[in-house]
């Protein structure tokens, strides 16, 4: 995922997850599984193309206490920078 159109804050991430081309519920399931492997405080960059992912990711992070540090929509992609919470 070294696309020059990626946001500058992408460089802050410790890990990345590419869910482009996948439809609900797959992006959320992959995010959930990846978060389980990360230590608290880890920054995870996620890119998705399914618009339903925006709602799913926001609700998931709110429910489990993971912060969304940054987000943007560009060129049909939804990009997030998550910080894994303490739970």
CATH of the domain at 31: 3.30.110.40
6 neighbors 34 (Cβ within 8 angstroms): no
Query: Phi and psi at residue 53, in whole multiples of 5°?
Result: -60, -35
pLDDT at 2 over 70: no
Residue 2 resides in a domain: no
Compute the distance between CA of residue 20 and CA of residue 74 in angstroms, rounded to an integer: 13
Residue 59 resides in a domain: yes
Per-residue pLDDT, 4: 55
- The stretch 5-13 carries a mean pLDDT of 91
Residue 5 resides in a domain: no
* Stated pTM of the model: 0.92
- The stretch 30-48 carries a mean pLDDT of 98
Compute the distance between CA of residue 87 and CA of residue 85 in angstroms, rounded to an integer: 6
Average predicted confidence (pLDDT) for the chain = 94
Structural domain including 60 reads 12-83
Residue 6 resides in a domain: no
Domain count, the chain: 1
Residue 3 resides in a domain: no
Active-site residues: which are they?
Answer: 24
30 neighbors 46 (Cβ within 8 angstroms): no
Compute the distance between CA of residue 81 and CA of residue 31 in angstroms, rounded to an integer: 12
Band of pLDDT at residue 5, cut at 50, 70 and 90: confident
């Amino acid at each position: 995922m070294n696309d020059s159109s990626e946001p500058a804050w992408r460089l802050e991430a410790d890990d990345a997850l590419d869910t482009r081309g996948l439809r609900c519920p797959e992006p959320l399931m992959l995010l959930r599984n990846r978060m389980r492997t990360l230590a608290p405080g880890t920054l995870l960059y996620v890119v998705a193309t399914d618009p339903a992912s925006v709602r799913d990711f926001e609700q998931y992070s709110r429910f489990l206490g993971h912060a969304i540090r940054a987000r943007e929509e560009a060129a049909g992609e939804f990009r997030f920078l998550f910080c894994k919470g303490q739970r």
